[in-house]
Structure formats: structure tokens, C-alpha cells
Amino acid sequence: MQEHHDELQNKYEAMEKDARGEIIAAARLVATTLARFRTVKPVYDGAYDVVLIDEAAAASLPEVLLAVAKAGTCAVLLGDFMQLGPVLPSALERSDRPEVKKWLFTAAFRHCGIATPEQARQHPS
């Protein structure tokens, strides 16, 4: 009986994954977190006209770039550029490597040249 249950459970899970992929592929709007974006294959595999990233200052630049790369027309970063940056493992926080500090601890807005209110007002985008 347990083997039969396990077999049915596996079939159900496979059907659920297939259905989720079909639903996401046919959707006109997909809302997700950056974590789900990179870990749910049907979401990551999608092609998107526009990508909106809320709370962009709290995300690491690699996460932002991964999502922005899927934008066919444009990407928009939303959020408070003066907010604290991404929360990352403490081992990385102790790193002295300049590339770690630059690419993991520098907010996406700063990479776009926005670090002050004046820079935000004057930014062409």
C-alpha cells in the first residue's frame, strides 16, 4: 500500500510541476520574489517584456542583474536608494576582497550612479 501511495504521490508531483510551468508560460503577468525567480525553473525560463524590481536596494546586484537580463523591453528598479543594502552571510561581510564588496554589498542604485537625493533627481532614467 505504501509503495502504491508513493507512486501516486510522485505522479501527482510531476503533474503539478507540469501544470505550474504551463500556467506560468501562459500568464500575462508573473509576480514573484527574486529568490523564487532564480529557484523556480518555469519562472526563470520565462521571457518577459518588462521586469519590475521592488525594494531593489535590498537585493544583491547579481540577483537584480539575473532578473533584469530577462527583460525584453525594459526593467525598472523601484525602492529607496538610501535603504540598507542586501543581507548576506556574515562570512562574506568579513571578506577583504574588493570585488566582493563592490559586486555583493554595493546596492544596484549606486551602480547606476544614484547615491544621493540630488543624483536621483538628476538621473536620466
Residue ranges per domain, the chain?
1-27, 31-122
* Cell numbers that stand for 72 in this block: 525584453
pLDDT tens string 73-89: 999 999 888 888 888 88
34: nearest Cα among 87, 74, 99, 82: 87
Q: Distance (Å, rounded) from C-alpha 55 to C-alpha 76?
A: 11
- Rounded to two decimals, the pTM is 0.74
Q: Distance (Å, rounded) from C-alpha 111 to C-alpha 92?
A: 19
pLDDT tens string 4-32: 888 888 887 877 777 888 888 888 889 99
